[in-house]
Amino acid sequence: MKDKKSKISKHKKYSFFNIGTIMFGVLFVYMVICLVLYLQTEHVTAYEVTAGPLTGNYRYTALTLKSEVLVKASQSGTVSYYAREGQKVGMGNGVCSVDVSGKQRDIVKNMEAGLTGDNPEMILKLRSQMSTFAMNYDSVSYQAVYNFRSDVESSILELANVSSLSDPEAWGIENLYTAPQEGIVVYSMDGYENMQAESVKQADFDQMAYQKTNFRVNGTVSNGDCLYKLLTDEKWSLLFPVNKEMESELDGRKSIRFRFLKDGTIFSGDFSILHNNDGSFGKIDMETSLIRYSGERFLEIELLLDRTTGLKIPNSAIANKTFYKIPKEFATYDGEKPKEISIVKQIEKKDGSKAPKYVTATVYKDEKAYFLIDSTQVSDGDVILADEKPIYTISDSETLEGVYNINKGYAVFREITILDKNEEYCIIEEGATFGLSEYDHIALDASTVNDQDIIAR
């Protein structure tokens, strides 16, 4: 047999540099260049224009002034409280007593021993107090624990009908202190009790320096110590500092609506502005709801003012730009294109001769006698021609306040008219021919943009 010859075919070798790799390489290099340019380009943050009023910018920490009477102890001993914090008591009602002999604490112990299911009213009330304390517990404010303990004891005595204290001797109560007049009981003092509205200073609003003494922390008193405080009048006031701008806005108001941020409740009160050597202060006079905030010296409030509505933009988007005035007799314009005019500018040719050049300019403002056009389209000293009229040399300019509209991918200056303003935002007029509309996109920071810049977002 003849040896069979093996058939070996050689595969054709292809060069690495073929059309496919070259195209892929070009595409890769292009993508790298685009990425580098993107990373090196300063990007512009856009802001979408919305409509509405300014909100949330009239919040103040108000100082409360009330009619407050401090009741002091005439003996030394252990104090038992029968009225709860914030409870309204009538004249002659028992508020607390000072135990000199040391036997009075047995009253509370005996009452605690009677906490059984046979007294559902007591059980429900105590559960409610415990639940409220647990939900509002703050480990930083440990004085609340003492208040809670005293309130529970007061509730036990109240439900046992001790609060009326018609016969204190039958309960073994000595040195009973009754309310000298009708009022709301508060078990703390802070030195603001005798403060008058006319003497309020800026330093009085410094909560870092504010100190409050809780009468129920120690449980004992000495002769002359304060036992409790009584709020004797439903009339009370809220004071807060105002700057010149706010004072001007509130001037002339006789009443004002506001919200307590603590619980969201809304009230109205008589309003006035006080002036002294330390500044100006808004003053709201109330005749209701004192019992709700009886233990509070400082309250966060928000004034609810009738504000101007319009297009809302951030103050950071506002820019100033200079424009040149073109008299209307030197411009040609079409009523169907109110944002464009044509002018004839005189230019100098290379040979020194002068020739007319037609320029289409964007109008930024249409006044009665002239148009305002961009300073990039003409310059100071340029000569404008018109048929059968003397030449006009550009010199007059005007600075407009506006923003940069970036809807089309490049920056276009748009004039604005500010109606209202605060620290962060302003309300501008809507519906202007050369202005903004709702949902337009503008540059959030005007300092990062120039007119006609291509915008990278």
Q: What are phi and psi of 259, to 5 degrees?
A: -125, 135
Q: Where are the domains of the chain?
A: 60-303, 314-448
- Please tell me what DSSP assigns to residue 170: G
CA distances in angstroms from 315 to 276, 303, 319, 410, 416, listed in the order given? 32, 22, 9, 21, 12
Radius of gyration of the chain (CA): 40
Residues 7 and 421: their CA atoms lie apart, in Å, by: 91
Tokens found for residue 77: 């001993």
Q: Which helix (H) or strand (E) holds 52?
A: strand 50-53
Measure Cα distances from 253 to 274, 282, 286, 309 in Å: 13, 11, 15, 20
**pLDDT given for residue 163 in this prediction:** 45
pLDDT tens readout for residues 96-121: 888 887 666 665 565 555 555 555 66
* 3-class DSSP state of 370: strand
Is pLDDT of 341 > 90?
Answer: no
- Contact assessment for residue 450 and residue 412, using Cβ atoms and an 8 Å cutoff: no
CA–CA separation, 85 and 150 (whole Å): 9
What count of other Cβ atoms lies within 10 Å of the Cβ of residue 167?
A: 8
**CB-based contacts of 111: which residues, under 8 Å, 6+ apart?**
156, 157, 160
Report pLDDT digits (tens) over 357-414. 888 888 888 888 888 887 777 888 888 888 777 788 888 888 888 898 888 888 888 8
Please determine, for residue 166, whether its predicted confidence score (pLDDT) is greater than 80. Answer: no
Calculate the CA 50 to chain-centre distance.
Answer: 18
Cβ burial of 154 (10 Å; 0-12, 13-18, 19+) is buried
- Res. 161 pLDDT band, cuts 50 70 90: very low
pLDDT of residue 393: 85
Q: Is the pTM of this model over 0.85?
A: no
Residue 145: what are its φ and ψ, rounded to 5°?
Answer: -65, -45
Distance (Å, whole) CA 126 – CA 264: 27
- Which of 163, 175, 204 is closest to 71 using CA atoms? 175
Residue 281, phi-psi category: left (phi > 0), alpha (psi -120 to 50), beta (remainder): beta
Stronger pLDDT, 384 or 257, i.e. the higher one: 257
C-alpha 256/C-alpha 63 separation (Å) is 17
| CB 322, CB 398: distance < 8 Å | yes
